[in-house]
Amino acid sequence: MASDNVTVRLVQQKDYQFEVSFGPGIPALRADEPPPLGAGLGPSPMQLLAAAVGNCLSDSLLFALRKFKQQPEPIQCEVTCEVGRNEQRRLRVLAIRATLTLGVPAEALEHLERVLTNFEAYCTVTQSIAQGIPVSVSVLDAQGAVLK
């Protein structure tokens, strides 16, 4: 990705519902807080944060494997944000856990150890967030074997 800035636009629709626009040709989405604050009619900011981490990690892993002409598809990722209160008793994301699952057994992929050692370093979003929130990453193969 180039070093250009990224801009999204949010416009309030009703209460805590915001239309999030990403730019020409990209469908907008509606974000909303869960009840009782909002109506839960779209992903919450915390869900969007988790999605950004998971998407970036998945992209980085896929890119790294494809550099070696490997086919790990379909990759899946589950991200959990641990939510708790800070010293001021305000809700915060205290930690993020991501589990990526490859679509094939580990034996089907070459250079896997090298990829697993390096792919996280290229994940712009996760590395940026990890400067303020601890992020742990696990990788499993299609048979559930823990690879990382």
Ranges of each domain in the chain: 1-34, 45-140
Q: What is the pTM of this model?
A: 0.93
Residue 132 is which amino acid?
G
Q: Which fold has domain 45-140?
A: GMP Synthetase; Chain A, domain 3 (3.30.300)
Q: Residue 2 — very low, low, confident or very high, per pLDDT cuts 50/70/90?
A: low
Please provide the DSSP assignment of 9-61 as one string. Answer: EEEEEETTEEEEE-STTS--EEE-PPTTTS---S--HHHHHHHHHHHHHHHHH
Give the pLDDT confidence of 74-120 residue by residue, as tens digits. 999 999 999 999 999 999 999 999 999 999 999 999 999 999 999 99
Give the pLDDT confidence of 33-67 residue by residue, as tens digits. 999 999 999 999 999 999 999 999 999 999 999 99
Q: Which residue bears the tokens 């990890």?
A: 130
CA 148/CA 142 separation, integer angstroms: 13
pLDDT of residue 128: 97
